[in-house]
């Protein structure tokens, strides 16, 4: 099961589809974070790096956090 990962480490090459998928999820993260005006730049940078390092799993965690963040913001804005 670990053999494909060893191939990536030894050859220092990534299949193009994985690089494209990583670029897409990082792009989607940046687009989502542009709408968050109440979030500090440090947190935005954290989430972009987290998604970059975590790839699809990191993006899933980011989307879950973003949904909770928006729900909390909307609940506190209502009287």
Q: What is the pLDDT of residues 25-56, one digit of tens each?
A: 999 999 999 998 888 999 999 999 999 999 88
Q: Is residue 10 part of a domain?
A: no
Q: Is residue 20 part of a domain?
A: yes
Q: Is residue 4 part of a domain?
A: no
Mean per-residue pLDDT, 6-24: 80
Residue range(s) defining the domain that contains residue 59: 15-77
Q: Is residue 62 part of a domain?
A: yes
Q: Are 43 and 21 in contact (CB under 8 A)?
A: no
Q: Is residue 9 part of a domain?
A: no
Q: Is residue 24 part of a domain?
A: yes
In the chain, the percentage of residues whose pLDDT exceeds 90 is: 47
Predicted confidence at residue 3, as pLDDT, reads: 64
Distance in angstroms (rounded) separating the CA atoms of residues 51 and 67: 16
Q: How many domains does the chain have?
A: 1
- Between 60 and 77, name the one with better pLDDT: 60
Range of lowest pLDDT (11-20, 21-30, 52-61, 65-74): 11-20
Residue with the two structure tokens 């990534």: 14
Q: Are 25 and 55 in contact (CB under 8 A)?
A: yes
Q: Is residue 5 part of a domain?
A: no
Q: Is residue 70 part of a domain?
A: yes
């Amino acid at each position: 099961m670990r053999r494909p990962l060893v191939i990536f480490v030894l050859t220092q090459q990534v299949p193009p589809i994985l690089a494209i998928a990583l670029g897409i999820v990082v792009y989607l993260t940046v687009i989502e974070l542009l709408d968050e005006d109440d979030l500090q730049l440090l947190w935005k940078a954290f989430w972009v790096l987290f998604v970059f390092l975590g790839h699809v799993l990191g993006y899933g965690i980011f989307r879950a956090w973003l949904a909770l963040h928006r729900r909390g913001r909307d609940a506190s804005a209502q009287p």
